[in-house]
């Protein structure tokens, strides 16, 4: 079984990590008013963020990002939450360190448990959501740090490497936006809702969480524009460097054209005029050098070289 229960006064926190069907059956027996479809959502891999409200409880599905250092990508972690009068249930897969640490600390520290659970289940829900949303700011700052690194080094390092770095940051920004933007609707539903088992004095605090989410999304929108601008700049820089390489190769080809032409003509296996003359070799070499020098002079005169 992966279910752990904390109780303080009249408030109970049930925490399920990697819930199994047996855990869900136990929760259903303990809280028979929870809808079977909501209970089933705790077992599915990825539910879309939502808020379902009933007469005596709320069911929330929220997604928050966690950093995958190996892939250099922010991945979504799902938390399913039941909140009713005097009870809070969290179901997750242990991917969000703040949630894991909060439950472990509350389990070990009685004073923290009293502070966290002493005012009821809905204030505890606010604290939990606020903590998880604020946990996103260091992840967003990490994206900003990567962007600054690209900005500072885009003209000093290998273009291929910088293009890779920009692609990594762009992928992370896209992932974060897809994770966080749907949460605005969930928290917005909390702001607009009016349920007897949710403390009315929490209304401004739901708005504060919503403001933090909106701020995160605004920062990500700005980062998306910066990434797009950097990508266009680096593409232009790479295109310019490719043009320089093509130009250099073209010049080398043109400069070797006279010698190549003479070598082709005099290399044919046919009788050539003055083929037996002792100065023919030096004449051909001199003619090739003269044509090459004239070609260099002409290209420089036209500012093509």
What would the DSSP string read from start to end of 178-247? HHHTTHHHHHHHHHH---TTS-GGGHHHHHHHHHHHHHHHHHHHHHHHHHHHHHHHHHHHHHHHHHHHHH
φ, ψ dihedrals at 29, nearest 5°: -70, -35
- Mean pLDDT to the nearest integer, 4-27: 93
The pLDDT value recorded for residue 75 is: 93
CA angle 94, 99, 102 (to 5 degrees): 125
Per residue in 35-87, pLDDT (tens digit) is: 999 999 999 877 899 999 998 999 999 999 999 988 889 999 999 999 999 99
Contact call for residues 118 and 124 (beta carbons, < 8 A)? no
Higher-confidence residue of 156 and 104: namely 104
pTM (two decimals): 0.79
CA angle 171, 151, 134 (to 5 degrees): 55
Instruction: Locate 30 and state its tokens.
Output: 């303990």
Contact call for residues 90 and 14 (beta carbons, < 8 A)? yes
The pLDDT value recorded for residue 274 is: 66
* pLDDT surpassing 70 at residue 196: yes
Higher-confidence residue of 303 and 201: namely 201
The pLDDT value recorded for residue 2 is: 83
* pLDDT surpassing 60 at residue 1: no
């Amino acid at each position: 079984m992966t279910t752990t229960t904390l109780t303080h006064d009249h408030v109970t926190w049930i925490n399920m990590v990697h819930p199994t069907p047996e855990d869900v059956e136990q929760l259903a027996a303990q809280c028979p008013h929870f809808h079977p479809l909501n209970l089933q959502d705790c077992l599915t891999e990825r539910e879309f963020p939502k808020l379902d409200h009933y007469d005596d409880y709320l069911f929330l599905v929220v997604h928050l990002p966690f950093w995958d250092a190996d892939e250099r990508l922010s991945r979504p972690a799902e938390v399913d939450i039941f909140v009713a009068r005097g009870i809070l249930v969290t179901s997750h897969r242990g991917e969000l360190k703040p949630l894991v640490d909060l439950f472990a600390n509350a389990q070990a520290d009685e004073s923290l448990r009293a502070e966290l659970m002493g005012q009821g289940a809905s204030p505890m829900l606010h604290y939990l959501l606020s903590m998880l949303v604020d946990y996103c700011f260091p992840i967003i700052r990490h994206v900003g740090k990567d962007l600054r690194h690209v900005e500072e080094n885009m003209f000093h390092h290998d273009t291929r490497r910088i293009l890779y770095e920009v692609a990594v940051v762009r992928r992370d920004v896209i992932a974060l936006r897809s994770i966080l933007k749907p949460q605005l609707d969930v928290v917005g539903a909390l702001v607009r809702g009016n349920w007897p088992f949710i403390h009315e004095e929490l209304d401004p605090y739901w708005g504060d969480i919503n403001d933090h989410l909106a701020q995160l999304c605004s920062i990500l929108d700005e980062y998306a524009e910066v990434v797009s601008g950097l990508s266009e700049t680096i593409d232009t820089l790479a295109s310019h460097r490719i043009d320089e390489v093509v130009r250099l190769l073209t010049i080398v080809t043109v400069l070797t054209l006279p010698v190549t032409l003479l070598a082709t003509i005099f290399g044919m296996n046919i009788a050539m005029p003055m083929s037996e003359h002792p100065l023919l070799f030096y004449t051909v070499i001199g003619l090739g050098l003269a044509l090459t020098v004239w070609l260099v002079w002409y290209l420089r005169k036209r500012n093509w070289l």
